[in-house]
Amino acid sequence: MQIAGGVPKGLSSMAEYSALSIVKNALTGNRDWKPAWRKPEPKPAYDVIIIGGGGHGLSTAYYLASEFGVRNVAVLEKGWVGSGNIGRNTTIVRSNYLLPGNTPFYEHSMKLWENLSHELNYNVMFSQRGIINLFHTPAQEDDHARRGNAMILQGVDARFVRPPELKRRVPALNVSGSSRFPILGGLEQPRAGTARHDAVAWGYARGADRRGVDIIENCEVTGFVREGDQVTGVETSRGRIHARKVAVAVAGSTSRVMAMAGIERLPIESHVLQAFVTESVKPCLDTVVTYGGGHLYISQSDKGSLVFGGDIDGYNSYAQRGNLPIVEDVMSEVLELFPAFAKLRLLRSWGGIMDMSMDGSPIITRGPLPGLYLNAGWCYGGFKATPASGWCFAHTIARDEPHPFNAPFTLDRFHRGTVIDEKGQGATPWKH
């Protein structure tokens, strides 16, 4: 299958950012750096308009221009680039899925991640420090073995980690057996890791801009221009803009934006997910750890802060802030795994709005109207998918048909009985 990357092209040959350019610009007082992207006025018409200047919208624009030869593209962003979920997540990248519908897509994303800094000539600080999903009961161990085997069968790396190795690898972890849910082991994906989320948005924005894409910030879409059913453009706070194709990649705001196109009901609910960061400490956790007795994922940033999150709050919300029961829940899970972290002070917490789909899997598709394309339903998992989401969405927009990687992620799968329910939870989006 065709995979972007491999041979770096375009930007890399320019090597605008390099050790040499740092020295050269230092000698001239750092006055000659170009802005990472332009601030263009919107043109009256484009081939493709992408609504949403987040990770997925920007990566879609980048791959449209770099892989599919569509350069007359505008990205419309209501706020500023990276102001939404791309800057609010816990930065985890992994492809440790069970179901055949998910694995090829997320593994494609992983392969794009592995070459992303090189391809973009922008350091996204992708660090393959591994992820360890802990298990605490024999039944959970079987379940993790099943998923690990499914991963290996689909060409993804997976291995079991037992408590003696866990103790060595994650010294702060309580593997004493005295905890409420003693740790029996973990399923590791060694190639998983973390990346600097803002840099991903900025790198894609810069890469898209250098290829001719107009990134238009402070431009809110207020309506759709229609000829019959056909979508032919958008009304915005900066005037009407026409386009042959309009693509929506607005995560938690999907229902709001699609309602403007007359799509009143979607298999999506918006929910608030909180994240937390502590004060910086010396390196003490060099992998990503998830808790199997509840829902917690934790890693240490390069600045030294512990970054973690847990469940969504569990009620519909567009508020970008959550409530205290989940805070208490997440903190208790951190201390269950890492008792020593009780001494740390929490610096910040915040919320992002998840577009929770009815089966926990995304939607990357043409439609539901002619001229309209939809990328949504990312639940907790949008960040890791950023490269493949953009790549597959760009393919779908440019060729008017999905790539096999995103062919299962249709909007009508819910009505056709072909849901991809990784967790087997059913149509209760707040439980995915």
Partner 1 sequence: MIIACPFCGPRDLSEFTYCGDADNLAARPDPAATDQAAWNAYVYDRTNPAGEHAEIWQHSGGCRKFLRVVRSTVTHEIESAEMVGPKA
Determine the distance from the C-alpha atom of residue 233 to the mean position of all C-alpha atoms in its chain, rounded to a whole number.
27
Q: Is there binding between residue 265 and partner 1 (CB under 8 A)?
A: yes
Round to whole Å and give the CA distance between 4 and 21.
26
Distance of alpha carbon 420 from alpha carbon 102, whole angstroms: 8
Closest to partner 1 by CB, 253 or 300: 253
- Rounded distance between C-alpha atoms, residue 382 and residue 354, angstroms: 9
Per CB under 8 A, 315 contacts partner 1: yes
> Which residue in 16, 414, 421, 425 binds partner 1 (CB under 8 A)?
414
Could you say whether residue 214 binds partner 1 (CB under 8 A)?
no
The rounded Cα 112 to chain-centroid distance in angstroms is: 13
Quick one: 40 or 325, whose CB is closer to partner 1? Answer: 325
- Smallest distance, partner 1 to C-beta of residue 136, A: 24
Whether the bond into 339 is cis, omega within 30 of 0: no
Among 5, 314, 339, 370, binds partner 1 (CB under 8 A): 314
Least separation in angstroms between residue 171's CB and partner 1 is: 34
What's the alpha-carbon Rg for the chain, to the nearest Å? 22
276 strand-pairing partners:
308, 349
Nearest approach in angstroms of CB 82 to partner 1 is: 22
Establish if 410 lies at the interface with partner 1 (CB under 8 A): no
Number of residues in contact with partner 1, rule: CB under 8 A? 26
Interface with partner 1, residue 427, by CB under 8 A:
yes
332 forms part of the interface with partner 1 (CB under 8 A): no
Q: Are 304 and 281 in contact (CB under 8 A)?
A: yes
Instruction: Tell me how far apart the alpha carbons of residues 360 and 124 are, in angstroms, rounded to a whole number.
Output: 27
Q: Kindly state whether residue 318 participates in binding partner 1, applying the rule CB under 8 A.
A: yes
Q: What is d(CA 278, CA 255) in angstroms, rounded to the nearest whole number?
A: 33
- Give the footprint of partner 1 on residues 335-364 (CB under 8 A): 358
Length of the chain: 432
* 81: CB partners within 8 A, 6+ apart: 37, 53, 58, 201, 202, 205, 215, 217
CA 372/CA 49 separation, integer angstroms: 10
Burial of 232 (0-12, 13-18, 19+ CB in 10 A): middle
Toward partner 1, which CB reaches closer, 271 or 384?
271
Q: Which amino acid is at 55?
A: G
Residue from 15, 152, 153, 319 binding partner 1 (CB under 8 A): 319
Among the listed residues 23, 264, 343, 401, the single contact to partner 1 using CB under 8 A? 264
Least distance between partner 1 and beta carbon 420 (Å): 13
Binding range to partner 1, per CB under 8 A, among 65-73, 177-185, 267-275, 390-398: 267-275
**Least distance to partner 1, CB of residue 259, Å:** 8
From the CB of 299, what's the least distance to partner 1, in Å?
27
Write out the two tokens for 303: 């600045």
Is residue 222 part of the contact set for partner 1 (CB under 8 A)? no
Q: Does 181 bind partner 1 (CB under 8 A)?
A: no
Stretch that binds partner 1, among 58-66, 76-84, 262-270, 342-350 (CB under 8 A): 262-270
Q: Which of 266, 275, 364, 385 binds partner 1 (CB under 8 A)?
A: 266
Q: How far is the CB of 265 from partner 1 (least distance, A)?
A: 4
Instruction: Judge contact between 409 and 362, C-beta under 8 A.
Output: yes
| Residues 334, 296 contacting (CB under 8 angstroms) | yes
Q: State the residues that interact with partner 1 by CB under 8 A.
A: 253, 255-256, 264-270, 314-319, 323-325, 328, 358, 414-415, 427-428, 430
